[in-house]
Amino acid sequence: MRKVMEPEGTAARHWAMPLCRNAGFRTRRAAFLPKLVFSGQPRTVTLRQLPRGQRTRRIFIVVRRGRSRHPAVLACRDALRRAVILRSNQAAPNDMW
């Protein structure tokens, strides 16, 4: 099964593989898009205004059976939940994010 990752020998692959191994799984289908995440750095992607009613995103957290209560999974889920609440409280009607 092919992986959805950068090719072997790249810095991103070197970074991601140990993270996956240390988290207890081997990648089958995974995508890491660190440069698409805005973290205070200049944007490297073009933002587009979405039509009203289509400004939603579904985020799924998928874990191995029996690992849904792992502290890292809970922390990730809680961080996403807080981000949604924070964003919904801050968003102006014309905000794109």
Span 8-51, pLDDT tens digits: 888 878 888 888 888 877 766 655 555 555 566 676 667 777 77
Counting DSSP H helices and E strands in the chain, the numbers are 2, 0
Span 52-90, pLDDT tens digits: 776 677 778 888 889 899 998 899 899 989 988 887 776
| pLDDT for residue 21 | 83
Please report, for the chain, the start and end positions of each structural domain, with discontinuous segments joined by +. Answer: 1-39, 56-91
Q: 9 — alpha (psi -120 to 50), left (phi > 0) or beta?
A: left
